[in-house]
Copies of this chain bind each other. A is one copy, B any other.
Amino acid sequence: MTATTQPPAPSSRQIRFSGSGGQGLILSARILAAALAEEGLFVAQSQAYEPTSRGGLSRSDLVISDREVEYPLATALDAVVILDQVAVPACAGLLRADTVAIVDSGKVSAPPAGPERIVSLPVTDTARRIGNPRVANIVALGALAGLTDFIDADALRAVMLRLVPARFRDINAEAFDAGLKMAQERQDA
């Protein structure tokens, strides 16, 4: 892939997973990227690491296209997952009125301005109830599948089960299903 300064084609989609370090959001993005590649799409993924001393923000962006992705940086998000308040400012400039924003109701007190559709869900609380707050990333992935039409939920779930460590498969399956269910109930409301 050659770096260019062209913006993405209008047919492309852009998705961000963001929160604080250690929430496993890069893995969530990687699972979605792998699942989309299996569906025949091109996906560019990027993330940034700050000096540990600055703490905090973790984010991974996907740019998806039916053609090779010439410009792999997010410019306007179709969807964003925000699991920590620290990640809110970093979204500024990337949000539109029709961005779907999924925010963790227990971790984000002031959602970003801009999107008309902000879906506040108890992501980490749900992970904790299932048995481990560390599967919040997979609860969020299930919720994203339920709230958007980016990918078939069953296909995404199958790739997820292949990419998480074998001994955490059951709890991640439960986490994904809980996130999907929460999202579907919200869709029906």
Contact = CB atoms under 8 A, between A and B. Distances in A.
Nearest to A1: B48
Interface string A62-85: 000000110011110000000000
Give the number of copies in the complex.
2
Interface residues of A, number: 35
Contacts of A68: 50
Point out which of A44, A46, A49, A73 has the most chain B C-beta atoms below 10 A from its C-beta.
Answer: A49
Contact of A33 (B1, B3, B40, B49): B49
A24 B127 CA distance: 28
A34 interface: yes
Nearest to A165: B165
Interface in A24-51: 26, 30, 33-34, 36-51
A11 interface: no
Contact of A90 (B1, B26, B44): B1
Contact of A2 (B39, B45, B47, B93): B93
A177 B177 CA distance: 41
Contacts of A53: 40
A139 to B, nearest CB: 22
Contact of A51 (B42, B72, B73): B42
A3 B47 CA distance: 12
B73 A72 contact: yes
B38 A48 contact: no
Given A30-B26, A90-B1, A49 B40 contact: no
Given A26-B30, A50-B68, 9 more contacts: A1-B48, A38-B51, A40-B51, A40-B53, A41-B51, A43-B49, A44-B47, A45-B48, A72-B73
Interface of A: 1-3, 5, 26, 30, 33-34, 36-53, 68-69, 72-75, 90, 93, 165
